Amino acid sequence: DLWQGIDFSRSKAEARVDGSTGVKFSDVAGIDEAVEELQELVRYLKNPELFDKMGIKPPHGVLLEGPPGCGKTLVAKAIAGEAGVPFYQMAGSEFVEVLVGVGSARIRDLFKRAKVNKPSVIFIDEIDALATRRQGIFKESTDHLYNAATQERETTLNQLLIELDGFDTGKGVIFLAATNRRDLLDPALLRPGRFDRKIRIRPPAAKGRLEILKIHASKVKMSESVDLSSYAQNLPGWTGAKLAQLVQEAALVAVRKGHQSILQSDMDDAVDRLTVGPKRVGIDLGHQGQCRRATTEVGIALTSHLLRRYENAKVEPCDRISIVPRGQTLSQLVFHRLDDESYMFERRPQLLHRLQVLLGGRAAEEVIYGRDTSRASVDYLADASWLARKILTIWNLENPMSIHGEPPPWRKKVKFVGPRLDFEGSLYDDYGLIEQPLNFNLDDEIVQRTEELIRDMYERTLSLLQRHHAGLLKTVKVLLEQKEISGEEIEFILDKYPPQTPISLLL
Ligand code: ADP
C-alpha cells in the first residue's frame, strides 16, 4: 500500500509549533492601532481563568486582513510571543488536498493539539485558499477532479466552522486567520460569533516606515550617518516586508564592497536594485546617446529646482540623477517626496508646475540641440499629456467639462504621475507603470485644449531654461563626467550660475 505509514491527518503544523515564537510587539511597527487592539488577546492568553471568573466572553477568532507583507504573520506571532504560548501555524493551501477527508482531518488535528496545549494560538495564513465562497448547491461538473476538489474544500470549510463554533469548550485557544482577499471568503465564516473581530493591517505611512526601518536596521550594522528618515519619506507604498528586504540587500551590498558597516551609498544601491534592478554592464549608449539622456534628465530636474527657487512651486526637488543603466532603464531620476499634506491639498498651480517639470526634458533638448529633438524625452511627454488631460477633464480644474462617450473597451499602459487616492482614501504615490484607461474618443475640444495647455506650459519652461542656459550646460557636463549628480550639487551649480549667465563663463 503506497500510503502505508503516512498519516495524512497529522497536520504539518506540528513542525512549526514553538514554545515561544520569540517575536514581541516591539518587533512590529507602523500598525499601532492593530497592535493596540490585539493587546487584549495577550491579556486573555496570559490568564484565561480571570476572564472566565469575571464572566467576560473569551475572544473568538480574529481575522487580519490586508495586503501581503504588512506584518499579519508577524503580529500573530507576536501575540503568541508576548503571551509565551505555543503558536500553531498553517497556510490555507495546506488544507486543500484532492484526497477526500484529508483537509478536515487536518483541521480537527490542528485544533485538537492546540487545545491540548492551551493556552495557545492557531494561525491560518491565506485562509481564502481554504474558505472561498461556496457554490451553494453543489454544481456537478463533468470534470471529476474538479468535483472532488470542490467537495473536499467544502468539507474542510465545514469542519473549520464546526471547530470555531465549538470554541467555548476549548477555552484558552485563540484563532487567528489572515487574508488579503476578504471578498472571496465564504459569508458563513464572517458571521458573528466566528470572527468577532476583523482587523485591517494597512501598509505603513511615512512615520511607520521609519519605525520599521529602525527595527530592521538595529539587527544589522548600520552606519550612524545613514539618514533612515529620508528613505522612509521617499519610499511610499513600501510594505514592512519590502523595507526589511531593503535593509538585508543593503547589508549584502556593504559586504560585497568591503565596508565595515552599511553606508548611505549602500542603501541607495539597494533601493535601485529593488526598484529598477542591478547595474547593467556591457551596454553602451555611445557618447551621443549619453549626452541626450543626460540633457533630458537634467532638464526635468533643473526645471523643478528652478520653479522651486523662483516661483515657490510645490514640486519635488531632485535627489539624484544617474546615467548608469540598471535593469530596464538607461538612466534614473530620483525625486525627493514632499510631505503628505502637499499632495492632499494639491491645487491647480501646483499641477501646472508639475506639468512644466515633465516638459523640462524636451525643453532642455531644444535649448541645447535646437528643434531636432530625440526620443529620449518621449516618455516624459506621454506623462505630460496624460497629466494635462487629467487637469482638464477628470479633475475639472479648468472650466468644468465632461467627457462624452464610452471609454474604449481596451486599456493602454501609461505612466501616471502624481499622487492618487486609493480606494481607502489614503494617499500614495505611484510613479511606476499602472494600467489606466486612456480615452481616445475625447471630444475634439478637449484634445485641442490639452494641446494648448501643453504648448503654453512648454513655452514657459523653454524660456525658463533658456535664461539658465549656463546652469543647464554645466549640470549636464558634471553629470556626464560623474555619471551621477545629487540634488545638492544641482543647487550649488544654480547658485554659481544665476539667470542670464553668459555661457562664455563656463569655458
Ligand atoms: P504578511 O503576513 O502580512 O504577508 P509578514 O508578517 O509575513 O507579512 O511580513 C514578512 C516580514 O516583513 C516580517 O517577518 C518582517 O520582517 C517584515 N515586516 C512586515 N511588516 C512589518 C511591520 N509592520 N513591522 C516590522 N517588520 C515588518
In terms of pLDDT, which residue wins out, 454 or 373?
Answer: 454
In sequence order, what are the beta bridge partners of 130?
none
Pairwise CA distance, residues 290 & 285, whole Å: 6
Q: How far is the CA of 69 from the centre of ligand 1 (A)?
A: 5
| CB of residue 113 inside a 6 A radius of ligand 1 | no
Prediction pTM value: 0.69
| CB of residue 70 inside a 6 A radius of ligand 1 | yes
In terms of pLDDT, which residue wins out, 485 or 11?
Answer: 485
Pairwise CA distance, residues 462 & 468, whole Å: 10
Question: For position 307, what pLDDT does the model report?
Answer: 97
With vertex at residue 326, the alpha carbon angle to CA 322 and CA 331, rounded to the nearest 5 degrees, is 35
User: How confident is the model over 329-349, as a mean pLDDT?
Assistant: 80
User: How confident is the model over 474-489, as a mean pLDDT?
Assistant: 93
User: How does pLDDT run across 93-137, given as a tens digit for each residue?
Assistant: 887 765 667 788 888 888 888 888 888 999 999 998 887 766 544
Pairwise CA distance, residues 277 & 326, whole Å: 6
Point out the least confidently predicted range of 180-189, 305-314, 424-433, 467-476: 424-433
Point out the least confidently predicted range of 285-289, 308-312, 326-330, 375-379: 375-379
User: How does pLDDT run across 156-190, given as a tens digit for each residue?
Assistant: 888 888 888 876 655 788 899 999 888 788 888 88
Pairwise CA distance, residues 403 & 49, whole Å: 64
- Residue whose CA lies nearest to ligand 1 atom number 18: 240
- Cis peptide, bond prior to residue 59, ω within 30 of zero: no
Would you say 392 and 331 are in contact if contact means Cβ atoms under 8 Å apart?
A: no
Q: How far is the CA of 45 from the centre of ligand 1 (A)?
A: 23
Q: How far is the CA of 182 from the centre of ligand 1 (A)?
A: 19
The question of whether 94 is a catalytic residue gets the answer no
Average pLDDT over the chain reads 80
In terms of Cα–Cα distance, which of 421, 402, 298, 398 is closest to 351? 398
| CB of residue 28 inside a 6 A radius of ligand 1 | yes
Question: For position 16, what pLDDT does the model report?
Answer: 54
Confidence class of residue 142 from pLDDT cuts 50, 70 and 90?
low
- Cis peptide, bond prior to residue 400, ω within 30 of zero: no
User: How confident is the model over 53-76, as a mean pLDDT?
Assistant: 88
| CB of residue 213 inside a 6 A radius of ligand 1 | no
Q: Show the cell assigned to 503.
A: 555661457
In sequence order, what are the beta bridge partners of 198?
63
In sequence order, what are the beta bridge partners of 420?
428
| CB of residue 68 inside a 6 A radius of ligand 1 | yes
Length of the chain: 507
Query: What Cα–Cα distance (Å) separates residue 145 from each residue in 94, 148, 152, 348, 432?
Result: 18, 5, 10, 58, 41
Q: Which atom of ligand 1 lies at the shortest distance from residue 125's CA? A: 2
- Residue whose CA lies nearest to ligand 1 atom number 11: 241
CA diameter of the chain: 91
Would you say 473 and 368 are in contact if contact means Cβ atoms under 8 Å apart?
A: yes
Residue to substitute in 74, 202, 216, 238 for testing ligand 1 pocket (most ligand atoms within 8 angstroms of CB): 74
Q: How far is the CA of 202 from the centre of ligand 1 (A)?
A: 11
End-to-end CA distance of the chain: 88
Pairwise CA distance, residues 96 & 113, whole Å: 20
Would you say 236 and 202 are in contact if contact means Cβ atoms under 8 Å apart?
A: no
Question: For position 101, what pLDDT does the model report?
Answer: 76
Question: For position 410, what pLDDT does the model report?
Answer: 35
Q: Which atom of ligand 1 lies at the shortest distance from residue 201's CA? A: 3
Question: For position 184, what pLDDT does the model report?
Answer: 80
Would you say 393 and 443 are in contact if contact means Cβ atoms under 8 Å apart?
A: no
Q: Which atom of ligand 1 lies at the shortest distance from residue 31's CA? A: 23
Question: For position 15, what pLDDT does the model report?
Answer: 43
Using the structure block, give the residue that is written with the C-alpha cell 484526497: 99
| CB of residue 127 inside a 6 A radius of ligand 1 | no
ipTM above 0.90, yes or no: yes
- Residue whose CA lies nearest to ligand 1 atom number 5: 71
Q: Which residue of the set 82, 211, 297, 365 is catalytic?
A: 297
In terms of Cα–Cα distance, which of 286, 268, 266, 274 is closest to 330? 286
| CB of residue 177 inside a 6 A radius of ligand 1 | no
In terms of pLDDT, which residue wins out, 447 or 444?
Answer: 447
Confidence class of residue 401 from pLDDT cuts 50, 70 and 90?
very low
Confidence class of residue 345 from pLDDT cuts 50, 70 and 90?
confident
| CB of residue 364 inside a 6 A radius of ligand 1 | no
The strand pair at 332-335 and 120-125 is best described as unpaired
Rg (CA), the chain: 29
